[in-house]
Amino acid sequence: QVQLVESGGGLVQAGGALRLSCAASGRTFSLYTMGWFRRAPGKEREFVAAIRRNTVDTYYADSMKGRFTVSRDNAKNTMYLQMNSLRPEDTAVYYCAADTQAYPLRLGVEHEYDYWGQGTQVTVSS
């Protein structure tokens, strides 16, 4: 069993930045592919970014490329999402998730992930 806890959300003005963290329990964090998803009000949950266990291979939804950066520190069992140039449409609950497959292929697919955090609210004011 893996427990994921997000933190770092809050209220920020458009153009601002936030850094989200996802802390994982257990000793197998380094084996997992990790992902960030978000759910905006009235919308379905959508893929934001993912990072493989090698800490190098990263993937982003098109609208986040160039603004968001995903990273991880396997020694600290933590994944991060640095969000810059935030827009009101980035307002959402942000979730981290863990995929326990050795080399998952569909990183943007929600049901591929095995464990989820409770989410952290990000609100961007205009």
Which tens digits make up the pLDDT trace of 109-124?
Answer: 999 999 999 999 999 9
- Both tokens of 118, joined, read 């409770």
User: pLDDT, tens digit, for every residue of 47-98?
Assistant: 999 999 999 999 999 999 999 999 999 999 999 999 999 999 999 999 999 9
Give ∠ CA 74-17-91 in degrees, rounded to 5: 100
CA–CA distance, 98 with 29 (Å, rounded to integer): 8
Split at pLDDT 50, 70, 90, the class of 43 is very high
- Residue 82: alpha-carbon gap to chain centroid: 9
Say which amino acid occupies 23: A
- Torsion angle (degrees, nearest 10) of CA 87, 88, 93, 95: -10
CA–CA distance, 78 with 65 (Å, rounded to integer): 21
Count other Cβ atoms within 10 Å, centred on residue 76. 12
- Torsion sign, CA atoms 27, 24, 16, 60: positive
Q: Residue 88: what pLDDT?
A: 97
Q: Residue 1: what pLDDT?
A: 82
Split at pLDDT 50, 70, 90, the class of 16 is very high
- Does 26 have pLDDT greater than 90? no
Q: Residue 10: what pLDDT?
A: 97
- Both tokens of 41, joined, read 């009000």
